[in-house]
Amino acid sequence: MPELDMSILEKKKLDMLDAYIDTFENKQLNIITILHYAQSVFEYLPKELQLHIARKINMPAVKINGIVSFYSFFSEKPVTKYTVDVCRGTACFVKGAQTLYDIFSQKLNIDEEGISEDGLFSLNSIRCLGACGLGPIVKVNDEIFSHVTNEMVDEIILEYREKEKADENQ
């Protein structure tokens, strides 16, 4: 866990969260509710925020991180408009999923948090989607791309960049 960096947390939101936490007599018992509230205020749960909560309710930060990682409705990353999931299950992996992941990462300028430079895309690797015969599989939001080749990466990115432009012009 990193040291708490107050500069990335907005003071006003933090005060709201602290006041909310203080309404609970048994804070540790209500950790899920507290995390839900924190995510609704901050939109995601960065490590620094988890550490703040850990200190506030006197719970090990590693335990809070375990809860955040376990439940899919919690996110440690900012929510992006487009989520690119590259299947890295065994079948997709042997068909080149790692290379696809690396190409997406490079073309989208993905940072260490898994977010693209323009904040539009997040990149994740996911486990088998149960469609191994169609691999390698890439999922962007709810759209599935099958038999994805390295050359298709540009086309997929372009499709979403154009969607974004169309949305902006509406």
* Site of interaction with ligand FES (CB under 6 A): 87, 89-92, 128-129, 131-132, 135, 137
Q: Residue 71 CB, nearest distance to ligand FES (Å)?
A: 23
Q: Choose between 68 and 100: whose C-beta lies nearer to ligand FES.
A: 100
Q: Choose between 59 and 131: whose C-beta lies nearer to ligand FES.
A: 131
Helix residue spans in the chain (DSSP H): 11-21, 31-42, 47-57, 61-70, 90-94, 97-107, 152-168
Q: Residue 47 CB, nearest distance to ligand FES (Å)?
A: 29
Q: Choose between 108 and 129: whose C-beta lies nearer to ligand FES.
A: 129
Q: Residue 120 CB, nearest distance to ligand FES (Å)?
A: 25
CA distance 44 to 114: 14
Which residue is at the shortest CB distance from ligand FES? 89
Q: Hunting for tokens 């038999």 — which residue is that? A: 147
Judge whether 45 and 39 are in contact, CB under 8 Å.
yes
CA distance 48 to 9: 8
Q: Choose between 84 and 87: whose C-beta lies nearer to ligand FES.
A: 87
Q: Residue 85 CB, nearest distance to ligand FES (Å)?
A: 10
CA distance 16 to 70: 25
Q: How many residues does the chain have?
A: 170
